Amino acid sequence: MTQYAIVTDVNRCVGCLACSVACKALNGVPVGNFWNKTLRIGPNPKYEGAQWPDVDMYFLTVQCQHCEDPECVKVCPTQASHKLEDGTVQIDKAKCIGCQFCVMSCPYGVRYLNEEERVVEKCTLCEQKISQGELPACVAQCGGRARFFGDLEQGIENFEAPYTVDITEGDPSYDKTVNNRIKLKDIVRDYSDDQVHMLTNVGNNPSFRYIVRKHIWRGEE
């Protein structure tokens, strides 16, 4: 079964907020709401009693995790929240009654009620783009090339980001078969399995992954 997701290399994220801006611009997210938040983690002491400069700080992007077994789908009384065959969790606004049971059940606080439309909204993983073979906006616009999109069933090493070097069609490096993309394994080579993390798992099995090296993982706190 396909399970689309995003992998973020925390070491490469500079907290520029380009992912959040791209998301809001593409999806018309109302002011004061976010489908994609960039959190600053820290500064925290690297060890007990540590003081500056022995502190740890990094940025963590949080959005709908498009869980394998989403709690929001279980509690929805109208089946407005549902899971597609590509693994993404979507909301059918025509069925949503604004009860917000899904908002209360989400472990990550990434859903909200659109006060004007009286329906719940959240990250769709740019379903309108990925269904056409494109990358989600937050991945496509990541200036640090810290975000990668792909299918968990294919392994995170095969997740892809834009190949940001300007290559023309006449260049020998140009290859339409890879859609001008580069794989995670060709950029991020120095990580081990124990450095790949997920947000708190309460039985919902979040799909997104975070590669964390040289930092203390605090995503489960």
176 pLDDT above the threshold of 50: no
The rounded mean pLDDT for the chain is 92
Asked if pLDDT for residue 11 goes beyond 70, the answer is yes
Is residue 181's pLDDT more than 90? no
The average pLDDT across 212-220 equals 90
Predicted confidence at residue 177, as pLDDT, reads 41
Residue 85: strand, helix, or coil: coil
| pLDDT value for 169 | 56
pTM of the entire predicted model: 0.90
| Residue showing tokens 């604004």 | 98
pLDDT at 39: 95
pLDDT reported for residue 104: 98
**89 DSSP β-pair partners:** 83
Report d(CA 192, CA 204) in Å as an integer: 24
Neighbours of 40 (CB within 10 A): 10
Strands (E), 109-216: 112-114, 119-121, 147-151, 160-162, 181-183, 196-197, 209-211
DSSP 3-state of 192:
coil
The full set of domains in the chain, from first to last, is 4-65+124-211 (3.30.70.20)
Res. 90: pLDDT tops 90: yes
Over residues 123-162, the pLDDT tens digits come to 999 999 999 999 999 999 998 899 999 999 999 999 999 9
Mean of pLDDT values over 9-33: 94
Give the three-class secondary structure for 203.
coil
The mean pLDDT value for 193-209 works out to 97
* Closest C-alpha to 16, from 140, 123, 142, 125: 142
